[in-house]
Structure 1
Amino acid sequence: MGNCFRKNLQDPNQPDGVNEFKVSHQQNVSVSLQVMNLSVPSNKQKGVDEIQISHPPKKSKSPLQEMNSPVPSFAQTEKLWQEEIYGEYGVSKMNMKDEVVHAYICKCFCYDILKEATNKFSKKNLLGEGGFGDVYKGWIDYCTMSAAKPGAGTPIAVKRLRKEGAQGCEEWLNELTFLGKLSHPNVVKLTGHCCEGNHRILVYEFMAKGSLEAHLSREGKTELNWSRRIKIAVESARGLEYLHNAVRPVIHRDLKSSNILLDSGFNAKLSDFGLAKLGPQGDKTHISTRTLGTPGYFAPEYIGTGHLTFKTDVYSFGVVLLEILSGLSAVKIHSNGVARDLAKWARPYLSNKQEVINRVIDKRLGNDFQMEEAYEFAEIILPCLASSPKSRPTMTEVVHALEQLEKKVLKKKNNKQITVSKEHKTSIQIEQYKRSNRFCLVCNRIQSCDRM
């Protein structure tokens, strides 16, 4: 069964979702790391919870891209990943308990179990194609840690790494590491992984409504009414704010509508952390890195200099908000081959209320919004798309502004529902009164009509 182990390593006394635990003995840490195929340098001092990482000289090309093996071993990937992720930032110390935490909260699956759970990775189970792998729907019985029949057990999303090259393995480990440490209602939950032979697989909670992009790109009637769009914007912003304000802040680096997933209640969660990076620390203002991501969401300074900051994410999120408002994609290729950048096209209109209504807002919304609300949403988007990073707000400021807008939308929605409810109740009372008083509909009189 390969590297499968069925025993849950999480402390039974610790609630689900908790990603902090105490390490009382160095021996326990060593065992956990052996399960993950990681290695711990020997240390004779007791109570030491930090390890030093030495970094080789920085290379212009990712070391994983230079490997001959199409799918490097877990140990190879982990070693080179440390150089790629930590070396660029000058971070020389890592907390040991952070490095082994996913051995406790992230289950390790056998390849055969995941293969059976997805009906041999059937095309009928294909949910979508990610940056480095395809995503399939499957079913797992978490009590027995075995595959379940379709419709039984717990539905899961299984992302399988393609075998074309080594770059995907770097992203696979990157996502495993980051999602193994992150716990927030608006960040998708990683429930397991597989590292067996050449197979690299990640297992997530299943998001029944798919991606935000899929809903926005559908023609005709949409399930995304105005209040749902504002809700999705608020929850996505909260997820990104959590990343930026974490103890060890994270830059998502590939924020886009296809990486925002929706559950059955249209609750939004950020996904796909394959390109995520630790944010600058200390007196550093940015991270110098390769320009990776998706066209249409790139901040101008990131394209020009390769400087990555939290404000890079803010720009990308501004584009997502613009997609939510307009229902248009970040980049559209016209029939003549010319590409239209949504942010550049819409920016001049966002400061004009009439232009927002006439040109920008999604026509599928009809009259399902207030003009003032739409313009306030546009006012939140505009500074996020500022050319200068210093002119963009923080995600905390964005969250606050969106929450205020959501309160107004919900208040008007509730008032409307109350009014409709009162009108309905009044009509019922009139009918009851007519029946109880023998009201004649012909003569419009009570009781005294001869026709009664």
Structure 2
Amino acid sequence: MNLLPMILSMFLILLHRADAQSQHHPPFHSPTPAPAPAPSHVPVSQSIAPHSMIPAFSPGFQEQQHRRGSHNKVLISVAVASAAVGAVLLTLLCFWICHCKRSSKSSKKNQNLHISVEKGIMGMKTVGMKGCAPIIDYKQIEKSTNQFDESNILGEGGFGCVYKARFDDNLVVAVKKLHCQTQNAEREFENEVELLSKIQHPNIIPLLGCSIDGDTRFIVYQLMQNGSLEAQLHGPTRGSALTWNMRMKIALDTARGLEYLHEHCHPPVIHRDMKSSNILLDANFNAKLSDFGLAITDGSQSKKNIKLSGTLGYVAPEYLLDGKLTDKSDVYAFGVVLLELLLGRKPVEKLAPAQCQSIVTWAMPALTDRSKLRNIVDPVIKDTMDVKHLYQVAAVAVLCVQPEPSYRPLITDVLHSLVPLVPIHLGGTLRSSSVSVSD
């Protein structure tokens, strides 16, 4: 803001007004009076008046007094004008300082946002914004996946595949490719981008951007080097990389992510598709929730006119039978995941070509019987944990998968139950990891 010309202009205007005022009242110049005739009689009071009183009534004194008055008026006008200019100058200076501070804060904020975006999408060329999510050039998506080569497929979902992509600056990310020929697929894409662009939490997958090409949509995420929990538990390694403590850490991370959705998002968010394949693990096995296409907000009440969605084995009974959806539906699904971690079994297993059995139905009798519990624990972790901790985790799982929603705990209560079972270096409060196999 350039204030100098404005201030000088105002100052000159005020001085001009003061000068005009002084010219409007020029100093008094009276003509020389004619000599008065000598009086024949002088009053006694005048004859005895002191000499000092005479100049007060003389014409010369009056002229001098009038000149002093006019001069004082000029000085007062100049003083008033100077004060006015000073006040204006001070006001403008204050406005200028405030403007500079605001501009500095705004510039700093924009700079920080720019830096944050640059860090998040380093090496990716953006062509616009979709809400708060950067839109990445499709040609870069295609090039980074080597034209969506099959060798880069990380996993498959209901509407498409997830690819490993390598951008410039050696940035490696995961790209979900969605075929949005249907309205449901398009809605899930819009829903996921909108939600993840507003959510930031250590246990929720970060959204880096999205892309659009015809009927195909792309969502770009942070790459999770250890894939999904489902792949770790039920893939070729059969959970061999997951120790008891690591499994408890994954359960704790997952509970923290759900608690953020249920308790700290406004309005609250129900994930609605909580399962082991949507729990991703980074290089250090930190768990992050993903796939928010089916998530809904404000889940404190029963939802109507919502299409029944979810994965068999994880869907809560009340939602499956009556369409009632609350945050307790996510708690039920979390309980199934906890059983997967504990038992190493899939949520639903085939007994015969036309017959399936859920992990809840199969495990419930043994979960409530301590003499049988240790016999159904995943062999990979059997006898590697404090048996008291085993009983506690089993009790939490049993509460989470209760058929009646009101009997299930809040995810916050689950979180508080798990924290003491996880060692400090893995994010819990357990100070010792002693192993006991005795009752």
TM-score, length basis structure 2? 0.67
Task: Indicate if the aligned counterparts of 2:203 and 2:288 stay in contact, CA closer than 8 A.
Answer: yes
Report how far residue 165 of structure 1 moved: 2.9
Q: How big is the shift at 1:176? A: 0.6
> Counterparts in 2 of 1:146-185, with a 5 A limit?
148=168, 153-185=170-202
Helix, strand or coil at the partner of 1:364: coil
Correspondence for 2:334: 317
Measure how far apart 1:410 and its partner are.
Answer: 4.5
Q: Which residue does the alignment assign to 1:209?
A: 226
Distance 1:368 1:179, change over 3 A: same
Structure possessing the higher relative contact order (Cα contacts under 8 Å, 6 or more residues apart): 1
Which residue is equivalent to 1:266?
285
Aligned to 2:255: 237
Alpha-carbon separation, structure 2, partners of 1:259 and 1:129: 11
2:150 match:
123
Check if 1:299 corresponds to 2:316: yes
User: Rg: which structure is higher?
Assistant: 2
1:13 lines up with 2:112 in the alignment: yes
Equivalent residue in structure 1 for 2:368, among 342, 348, 351: 351
* Per-residue deviation, residues 168-196 of structure 1 (Å, max 9, x unmatched): 11111111111111110000001000124
Structure 2 counterpart SS, 1:12:
helix
Please state if 1:200 is matched with 2:217: yes
1:252 aligned partner? 271
User: Residue in 1 aligned with 2:105?
Assistant: none
- 1:247 Cα shift? 1.9
Equivalent in 377, 401, 404 of residue 420 of structure 2? 404
Q: Take 1:35 and 1:191, find their aligned partners in 2: how far apart are those partners?
A: 13
Q: Does 1:369 align with 2:385?
A: yes
Distance change (3 Å), C-alpha of 1:294 and 1:264? same
Secondary structure at 2:288 match in 1: strand
- For residues 250 and 299 of structure 2, the distance between their equivalents in structure 1, rounded to whole angstroms, comes to 28
Deviations along 1:338-359, one digit per CA (max 9) or x if unpaired, are: 1011112212221222221012
* Structure 2, unpaired ranges of 5+: 1-108, 118-126
Q: Is the 8 A contact 1:380 1:398 kept in 2?
A: yes
Structure 1 distance, partners of 2:359, 2:414, is 20
Matched residue SS, 1:11:
helix
The separation in 2 between residues aligned to 1:263 and 1:295, in whole angstroms, is: 26
Instruction: Give the equivalent residue in structure 2 for 1:278.
Output: 297
- Contact residue 110 and residue 196 of structure 1 kept, 8 A: no
Counterparts of 1:241 and 1:118 in 2: how far apart (Å)?
A: 35
Are 1:383 and 2:391 an aligned pair? no
Per-residue Cα deviation, 1:405-448 (whole angstroms, up to 9, x for no partner): 224994333x68xxxxxxxxxxxxxxxxxxxxxxxxxxxxxxxx
CA spacing shift, 1:409–1:280, aligned 2, 3 Å: closer
- Matched residue, 2:41: none
Q: 2:204 aligns with which of 187, 190, 198?
A: 187
For residue 107 of structure 1, give the secondary structure of its aligned residue in structure 2: strand
2:347 aligned with 1:330: yes
Q: Sort the Cα spacing of 1:173 and 1:271 in 2 relative to 1 into closer, same or farther, 3 A.
A: same
CA contact (8 A) 2:128 2:136 kept: no
| CA deviation after TM superposition for structure 1 residue 292, in Å | 0.4
Contact 1:161-1:201 at 8 Å conserved across structures: yes
Q: Which ranges in structure 1 are unaligned for 5 or more consecutive residues?
A: 1-9, 19-33, 38-99, 141-147, 417-452
Q: Which amino acid aligns with 1:412?
A: S
1:174 alignment partner, SS class: helix
> Kindly, what percent of the aligned residue pairs are identical?
40
Residues 215, 223 of structure 1: 8 Å contact kept? yes
| Partner Cα separation in structure 2 for residue 298 and residue 220 of structure 1 | 24
Structure-2 residue corresponding to 1:222 = 240
Structure 2 Cα separation of the partners of residues 331 and 344 of structure 1: 10
What is the one-letter code of the residue matched to 1:375?
A: Y
- Distance between the aligned counterparts of 1:332 and 1:386, measured in 2? 20
Counterpart-to-counterpart distance in 2, 1:225 and 1:17:
35
Q: Distance in 1 between matches of 2:110 and 2:303?
A: 36
What's the secondary structure of 2:380's corresponding residue?
helix
* Count of paired positions: 311
Please tell me whether the aligned partners of residues 279 and 310 of structure 1 are also in contact (alpha carbons under 8 angstroms): no
SS in 1 for 2:197: helix
Contact 2:367/2:395, CA 8 A, preserved across alignment: yes
Name the SS for the 1:160 alignment partner. Answer: strand
Q: Rate the CA distance shift 1:366–1:346 in 2: closer, same or farther, 3 A.
A: closer
Judge conservation of contact 2:232–2:238 (CA < 8 Å) in 1: no
